Structure formats: structure tokens, C-alpha cells
Structure 1
């Protein structure tokens, strides 16, 4: 790793250590948001006497460890409540964790820990699964830069922060393990620091193209407003992806030749991009990556390769059209359903992508995000419910 990359990584890690103001630390807020039976347990312990306990925190599926935000919150709670907390982190941030393996052990006052479990688990499980998804996507498309565009799909600002953090953790692992470019930024200012950025990234939504009345006019408006910024132009609004992309390139030849112009494909899955249909979709892959369509493919895989919307065939078609007119430095940005499965197929089809905008690293099956915590020691004595003996610390 170069010195600049190391310094950037250290800076991002430091910024992660700053707890978000969104997370509750006041007792009345914790009581309001925690499971009632934990609140009742706290009252029982207060009545009959405290014990020092050890919790094992684990998940039922493989994940990438993303405990940073949770640990900082727990440490702050320990300071605020003035109790000793020992955290035995078995899998450091960014490490792969097997199903059922404790990510960490927490040792401290039962009275002070018992009502924190709900909030702890809410913030750990989804982050670890999202980090795992981000890692696989970045690893499969290792030469493609990713932009996290999940904020609008999150259930509030708490989740948006957790997901941005998770994407940065998964991307860092992919960079270390596979030399991936990974996530270079995200869409909002509030969480841009997780990616080493000062601000969110992005240029224009479909609404701006609609407002302008044409794709070209939207590009001109953007250029006049942000003349020094790189420009990414959405080209699917009027279903003239190829025509509008070339029109914008011809209008801004300097941007195009300097690599400061990108076209973004976000075509709806209800239609093919301009010039494509099923036969021509197969033909463009046959010209460029014939092996991608020679093996067995299920229906979903075929859709990613040659179906409507932003398929591998659509991306290859755009690249061919740009290169044919000499716009080989114009970048292609793709969005629309770029999940781990779609990224894997895009890699197999060697889709000529420069950037992927995605929110689809968010866990799609929320039952997989459930983190679990069990007490495995009471005042130093190993004890856990039958069936969970594997959690006892060794």
C-alpha cells in the first residue's frame, strides 16, 4: 500500500471513531427504544444484586466484521454510566467471520449492559451483512469504482449512516484482499467522511433532465453552473441513450477528450436501450465476450446479460458507440439494481464499466441481518442456554 493510500485509510479510520450524534445515550431514550423484557430484567437485577457477565455476540451467517460504530457507542455508554467494560474483539473490522462465530465478547455489569442489547444488535447485524455484500461486489468488479447511492433506500438517517460505514468497511477489505478500487464515495455529505471525502458525490437526477427539457440542455445547465466539475449526464430519460450520449459528447469535446465527461445508464427494466433488442443484445456480446453467453444461464442471469434495462449488452453497446466516434475517454456509469449477483455477471461479461452507482449492497433478506447476543458467563462461571455451548469463550 502506498503512503498516500495508508494515510487516507488512517484518516478514514479516525473519522469512523467519532460517534454519530444520532445514536441515543440518555437513559430515558434507551429505555424507550429497548425491548421491554430487557428493561424489566434491569429492574430485577437492581433489586436482587448485580453480577459481572460476559456476552457473546454472533451472527448466523458468514459476514464481514463491521463493529466500529457499535464499539464506540458501547464505550461511550460505559463512560456515561461509569462502569468497567471489557471488549474482546475476536474479528477486527474488515475480517471475514464464519456463521455462529462470536464477533466479540463483552464483559461488564449486567445491570448496565442488559438494556443495551436491543440497540447493539440493531446496529451490528445489518452493518456486517452490508459490508459482506459490498466486499463481494467490489471484489468481482475490482477495476470498477463504486458510488454508494443507498441513502434514499434507507429507513432514516440512523440506517443511512450504518450502511455508509458498512460500504466503506467492505470496500476496504476488497482493496486489501483483491486490489479493488472499491467505493470511492457516496451520495450524501453527512457520511462522505467514511470514504475519505469532504462532500457527497453525484451530478444530476432525472428530474433535472425533465426540468431542462432535453438531455443536452441539462448538460449545458450543469456546465454553466459547475464549470470546473467533472460531469456525468443521464442519457436514458427520453429513451435515446446512444443519440443523446453522442450529442452531449459532440457539444463538449474538451470535456470528452480530457476524461471529464461520463454518461450514465439507468434505463428502466421495462425496455431495451436505444438500438437494442434481444437479437442485437446477443450479437454485441458475441462480438466482444462470446464465452459470456456460451454456458448455461438461468433466467435472471440472462436478464443481466442480454435483457432489458442496464444489461451487459447495453453497456457494451454504449462503449462501441462512443469509441466509434472517437470518444474513448468518455466514461460509462451504470446504475439500476447492481446487486452482488448482478455485479458477478457483469464481471463475467467483462462489461466496460468505469463506475457503478448502487444501493443494492443493502441486505435484501433482513432475516439474515439478525445479530444475537447470549450471556455465556455469570461472575466468571461459564453458563449458557442449552444448544449455545459453542459460544463459551475458549
Structure 2
């Protein structure tokens, strides 16, 4: 997934670690990963990426290749490179929200406890992995909440910020309620159902649209979904109907452009009038949760939605104000007082209060074993379990927080 994982970090993590060791700062430390403030258009966040992180930590080592590079920089001392050669991230202990847990601002998503140099070195990787999957899962779940039970598919790989980002976004969106992905790598690695149709290039390479449809149906007789908007959407629908009247099985038709709502109504009418009410309508093309909410409220006859670009880059909120801060050292509280960046001391726990089956308030307290934060033990719960956890918690979320409209939720920090 990532080569030379030990070097997937910032230079200053290692320079600080060397200086800590030189000056005897090796006591027990606790670092906390949290989001200072929710994005303007988010009512809550979804914890994601823990399984990915634990997998990467198993590879977070400094071997000959990594150490040779670090030595070439002329920055580090030989004894520190020897320390790195023996470095093992699992000398630290991890306390985290299980994946699929709903959380809010200033709540600990992950806490790392270990010697100060050991725990400091992990900052960059921890932030990077948890941030990205949490970002995408928190965006994707908004589509799930407004979809009204319609099938959602991740179509985002081609416009993700890298193949790795596309892979992890597929994972995060599946956790958040999507039913499948077009990403074959995600299908193989995570067991996510894979789905797909055809591109406009397939239609254009044939002499006419009908010939293209026939060819695809011949190649895939049991999973024929036809892209009907290459030239004229309604004419494309009529050609699909012609094939079906001849006995060719068509599972669905896809519309990727134009006035989606109007076209769906007209295509649905054509299909139903000819007795093909079982044929699904698939919609794609820049779809986001705002589109989905509008179409669902208008009862637009869409069965399946391909959601891509705006989800995998979290277009309306492309980053979280996430931080990894020292909160405890040698049993003493550590915190910042910087304006706008103040932090809270000590390892912490989240206690969630409920009334009538719904969340009503979170309290963030000094750590005890009872609460949402759990000590991480390997193997961590599976992606399927994380998805089930989120579905259960969404059912307990106050209706106002399930909306795309901004709502507040009380978090008390003791």
C-alpha cells in the first residue's frame, strides 16, 4: 500500500525524538488525536481508518534502506539510528473510538500512550490515516442519510487524489452505508461488492448506439446496464427498449448528464409503458448529497446513484481541523493556551448520555474504562462490524443531526 512506511513521516518527528533522547525526556507520554471544530456543514463525524492505521503500523519500521537514507541527510547521530533500527510502534498502547463511532468536536478519536520519543514519532502517520478516512466517511454518510434507501455506489477512483486515496475512500464510503464500488482493488482487499457499466467511449466506437448496446449485452448477458445519454437520452432509452422487446435482458439504464430529474421521469415513463418497470435507472455525474436530497424530495424515479468526485475529495469541506497533541507527561497535565488552539489535558474518555433511545449529550472526562474509547487490541473489528456499528448509531442520532442543515450537539469537557 505504502512503501518505506517508516519514512511516511515529517522530519521534525525524528529530530524531536533524537533531542528527547539526548536530554533524558523519555517518560510516559499521552498524545491525543481530536478535531478542534466541526466543519461548517457537518453536524457530526464518523471515526474511520483505525484498521488501516494498525495495518500500516505493523510495517512501520526502519530497515537498512530507510537508515541509509537518514544517514545520508547528515542530521542524525549513529546512536539514534540504532534506536530507530529497534523501533517498534507497538511499544505504545492505543486507545481509540472503534471505527464507525459517531463523534463530535474536541473528543479523543485516538490516544497514543508510550515513551515520549516513541509516541511522538507516530504523529504524522496517525493524523494522516485517521484524518482521510474520517473525512470521507463523514462526507459519504450525508448521502446515505438522505438517499431514502436508494442504492449508493462509489464511483470516485478516477478523480481521487491518488490510487491510494481512491482505495481508502471506497473503504470509508462502504463503512458509511454505500452498497458497492467501481474500484476493483477495494473489492479484492476489503470484500466490497464491485459494480460498473460502460463509458461513452464504448458507445462511440461502434457505428451506431444500437450496435454498441447489442455488443455489450452479448458480452455480459446477465449484467447489462446501458449508458443511454451519449447522444440523445430518450432515443437511447428507446433503443434499449427495442433490444428488450427482442428478448435481450437489460438490468438497467444509466444517465450521466443533462436535466437528470426530467430525464429520469421521461425514461421511467417509456420503460413502464412498454412493460419494463423492473429495469433500474442509474444516475451518475457529479452527484452529491444536495442533489440526492432534492431528487428524493421530488420523488424522482432513481434506483441507484453513482457518487464520485465530490465525495472522495469531500468537496465542501476538504479537510478537518485535526490535531495530535501532548496531553500528559509523567502523569502531569500538558495543554496549550494558544488563542484558537487551546487543548485539554490528560488521557480522556467519552461518556454519551441518551434519552428515549437518542443521543442527548456527550461528556469528555478523565480516562476510565467505561465509555466509548476502548483500548485497541489486534485484530481490530472488521469493516463489516464498523459498518454495523455506524448503522446502529445513526438510528440513535437526533433527527436534527441527521439533516443536511446545521445543528448543534452539546459536548461538555470536564
TM-score, length of structure 2 as denominator length: 0.69
Given the alignment of the two structures, is residue 361 of structure 1 paired with residue 356 of structure 2, yes or no?
no
Identify if the C-alpha distance between structure 1 residues 77 and 53 changes in structure 2 by more than 3 Å, giving closer, same or farther: farther
Deviation at 1:136, TM superposition (A): 1.8
- 1:12 corresponds to which residue? none
Specify which of 114, 122, 125 is matched with residue 119 of structure 1.
Answer: 125
Give per-residue Cα distances to partners, 1:319-364, cap 9 Å, x unaligned. Answer: 1222122221111000012111111112211221111111132211
Specify which of 218, 230, 233 is matched with residue 241 of structure 1.
Answer: 233
Deviation at 1:106, TM superposition (A): 1.2
Q: Which is further off, 116-125 or 202-211?
A: 116-125
- 2:322 corresponds to which residue? 371
CA RMSD of aligned residues (A): 2.4
Identify if the C-alpha distance between structure 1 residues 125 and 213 changes in structure 2 by more than 3 Å, giving closer, same or farther: farther
CA contact (8 A) 1:85 1:107 kept: yes
- 2:80 corresponds to which residue? none
Q: Distance in 1 between matches of 2:152 and 2:189?
A: 14
CA contact (8 A) 1:310 1:336 kept: no
Give per-residue Cα distances to partners, 1:76-99, cap 9 Å, x unaligned. Answer: 54898334221111x321121112
Given the alignment of the two structures, is residue 261 of structure 1 paired with residue 256 of structure 2, yes or no?
no
CA contact (8 A) 1:310 1:334 kept: no
Specify which of 106, 109, 112 is matched with residue 115 of structure 2.
Answer: 109
Greater per-residue helix proportion? 1
Deviation beyond 6 Å, 4+ runs, structure 1: none
- 2:200 corresponds to which residue? 206
Specify which of 261, 264, 269 is matched with residue 320 of structure 1.
Answer: 269
1:25-174 matches, cutoff 5 A: 26-27=5-6, 30=7, 33-49=8-24, 50-59=26-35, 60-61=37-38, 62-66=44-48, 67-74=50-57, 77=60, 81-82=87-88, 83-89=90-96, 91-171=97-177
Deviation at 1:126, TM superposition (A): 2.3
Give per-residue Cα distances to partners, 1:16-36, cap 9 Å, x unaligned. Answer: xxxxxx134553xx1xx4222
SS in 1 for 2:311: coil
Deviation at 1:368, TM superposition (A): 3.1
Identify if the C-alpha distance between structure 1 residues 250 and 127 changes in structure 2 by more than 3 Å, giving closer, same or farther: same
1:287-326 matches, cutoff 5 A: 309-326=258-275
Unaligned runs of 5+ in 2: 39-43, 63-85, 349-365, 367-414
Q: Distance in 2 between matches of 1:184 and 1:131?
A: 13
Deviation at 1:234, TM superposition (A): 0.8
Q: Distance in 2 between matches of 1:55 and 1:366?
A: 25
SS in 2 for 1:113: helix
Give per-residue Cα distances to partners, 1:145-182, cap 9 Å, x unaligned. Answer: 111111001121221122111101111xxxxxxxxxxx
Identify if the C-alpha distance between structure 1 residues 102 and 45 changes in structure 2 by more than 3 Å, giving closer, same or farther: same
CA contact (8 A) 2:336 2:343 kept: yes
Identify if the C-alpha distance between structure 1 residues 194 and 351 changes in structure 2 by more than 3 Å, giving closer, same or farther: farther
Unaligned runs of 5+ in 1: 1-21, 172-182, 268-308
CA contact (8 A) 1:165 1:194 kept: no
Deviation at 1:246, TM superposition (A): 1.8
SS in 2 for 1:315: helix
CA contact (8 A) 2:334 2:345 kept: no
SS in 2 for 1:216: helix
SS in 2 for 1:191: helix
Specify which of 211, 222, 228 is matched with residue 216 of structure 2.
Answer: 222
Specify which of 173, 177, 182 is matched with residue 187 of structure 1.
Answer: 182
